Amino acid sequence: MSNGLEIIEVETAAQTSDFLNLPYNLYADDPNWRAPLRFERKMHLDPTKNPTLNTIRPQKFLAVHDGQTVGRIAAFINSAHLDQHGDNAGHIGLWDCEDNPETGAALLAAAEGWLKEQGVSKIIGPCNWSVNEDTGLLVDGFDTPPVVLMPYGRPHYQDMIEKAGFEKAIDMYAFQAALHEGYPRPKTTQTMVKLAEKDKRVSYRKVRLKDFKAEITMAMDIYNDAWSENWGFLPFTKDQIDHMAKDMKPLIDPDLFLIGEIDGEPVSFITMIPDINTAAHGLDGKLFPFGFAKFLYRLKVSGVKQARIPLMGLKKAWHNKRQGLALTAQLCETVFENARNKGYTHCELSWILETNASMIRICEQASAKKYKTYRMYEKQI
C-alpha cells in the first residue's frame, strides 16, 4: 500500500483488541457518537458468547497507517443465510474507517478479495453478522445519535462503498415518535382500537417474567412467522432465542412487553426497551471501575427518556384481517401510553423496510416521523 497504509488480517489477541477498540478511538470526538458497552461488543465478536457466530466463517481486517489503526472491516460467510436464500452471497460488516478514500477503498478491496477466494458470487452488506443484528449503512440522519443496537456511521462511507462498485439493495427506516404528540389519533386508529376493545375474541396481556424463556420463545416464533417474507429474512434459532432471553430480561418491563391473543391464542407481540446508549453516554463504553453506578442510576433512578421498539410481529394468518389490524393498533397505543406514564418522551421504531407499506402506515398513524435511513448494498463479483 502507498503512503504507509497497510491492510492486515486479524490473527492475534492484540489485533482483535485493536479491532474492537477502533470505533471508540475513531468517533471519540463526535458529539453524536454513543459508545456501546465494551463488554457487550466483545461478546458480539466471541463465538463462545454469541450463538450467531455458530453459522459464521469470518475474516477480519485492520487498516494501519504508520503504525496507527485507522480502519477495520469484516468479511464473512453466513451459512444460515445461504441455507435460507441460496444466493451464493458473502457479507461485509463491522466497517469503520477514517475519512480517507484510500483507506476505505483498501478495506473494501481486502474484504472483496477474501470473499472471492471463498467462491461467492455476490457481496451483501454492511451488517454485523446478520440482518438480526446491527444492520445497514447510515445514509441519512447524521444529526442525531443512534439508539441501542443500531449502527453508527459517517457520510463519507456512502461515497466510499459506491465508488467500490456497490449498489443499493434496499433501504431501512427508523421512525421517531414523540410520545406526547399526535393526539387525538387519526380516526382509523381510534376505530381500530375501539374494535379491539369491543371484540371478545381479542385480548392482550403482559409478558410473564416468571416464564420469560418460554415467553420469548413464543414471541420469536410469532416473529419468525410474521416476517418470513421480508427481504433478507433469517429466522431466529433456538440458541439465538435463548441468548436473547438471557440478555433482554434485565431490560424488560412487563408493561412494555405485551402479548396479543385472538381466541386465547398468542398471535402478536410488541416490546419496548430503554435506550441504554443514553444511560451509557459519556462512559466510553466502560462500566468499571466507576461507570456502573452512574449507568444504573440513569437507567433505574433518573430515568432514560428515549426508548426503542426493536421487535414486534403479527402472525401472517392475521395480516390484513380486521382482528389482526385492530389488535396491532391496540398493542401500539397501549405500550405508548404505558411508556408515557413511566416518563419516556420518545421512542424509535426500527428498522422498517422501505417496501413495508403497512408498517410505515402504522408508524405514521402513531405520528412517528422517519428520521434515519440505513442502506443495504450489494455487488456482483
Q: Give the chain's mean pLDDT.
A: 95
pLDDT above 90 for 113:
yes
- pLDDT class for 152, splitting at 50, 70, 90? very high
Domain boundaries, the chain: 5-171, 177-375
Instruction: Give the Cα separation of 116 and 123 in Å (integer).
Output: 9
What pLDDT is stored for residue 280 in this prediction? Answer: 92
Higher pLDDT, 1 or 177: 177
Kindly state the percentage of the chain with pLDDT values over 70: 99
Convert the pLDDT of each residue in 65-103 to its tens digit: 999 999 999 999 999 999 999 999 999 999 999 999 999
pLDDT score for 137: 98
The whole model's pTM is what?
A: 0.95
- Residue 146, pLDDT > 70, answer yes
pLDDT value for 299: 85
- What is the pLDDT, as a whole number, of residue 96? 98
pLDDT of res. 292: 85
Residue 381 confidence (pLDDT): 95
Determine the residue type at 210.
K
The torsion defined by the Cα of 314, 357, 150 and 75, in degrees rounded to 10, comes to 100
Whether residue 332 is predicted with pLDDT greater than 80 in this model: the reply is yes
Q: Identify the H or E element spanning 140.
A: strand 137-140
Fold of 177-375: Aminopeptidase (3.40.630)
Instruction: Work out the average pLDDT over 239-262.
Output: 93
pLDDT digits 0-9 by tens, 18-44: 999 999 999 999 999 999 999 999 999
- Determine contact, residues 174/141, Cβ cutoff 8 Å: yes
Task: Give the whole-angstrom CA distance, residue 150 versus residue 170.
Answer: 17
- What pLDDT band is residue 1 in, cutting at 50, 70 and 90? low
- Tell me: pLDDT of 14 over 90: yes
pLDDT at residue 296, as a whole number: 86
Note the pLDDT of residue 89. 98
Would you list the DSSP string of 78-117? EHHHHHHH-S-EEEEEEEEE-S-HHHHHHHHHHHHHHHHH
* pLDDT confidence of residue 288: 83
pLDDT of residue 302: 78
Q: At how many degrees (to 10) do helices 187-198 and 322-341 cross?
A: 100
Spell out the CATH class of 5-171.
alpha beta
Specify the pLDDT at position 183.
92
Ranking 79-88, 245-254, 312-321, 367-376 by mean pLDDT, the lowest is: 245-254
Structure confidence at residue 365 (pLDDT): 87
pLDDT at 116: 98
Whole-number pLDDT of residue 2 = 60
142-165: average pLDDT: 96
What is the spatial distance between Cα 91 and Cα 115, in angstroms, rounded to a whole number? 8
Q: Are 144 and 278 in contact (CB under 8 A)?
A: no
- For residues 298 and 25, the model is more confident at 25
How much of the chain exceeds pLDDT 90, in percent?
A: 90
Domains 5-171 and 177-375 share a fold: yes
Q: What is the pLDDT of residue 303?
A: 81
Q: In the Cβ-directed half-sphere of 208, how many Cα atoms lie within 13 Å?
A: 10
For the cut 90, the answer to whether the pLDDT of residue 297 exceeds it is no
For residue 343, pLDDT beyond 70 = yes
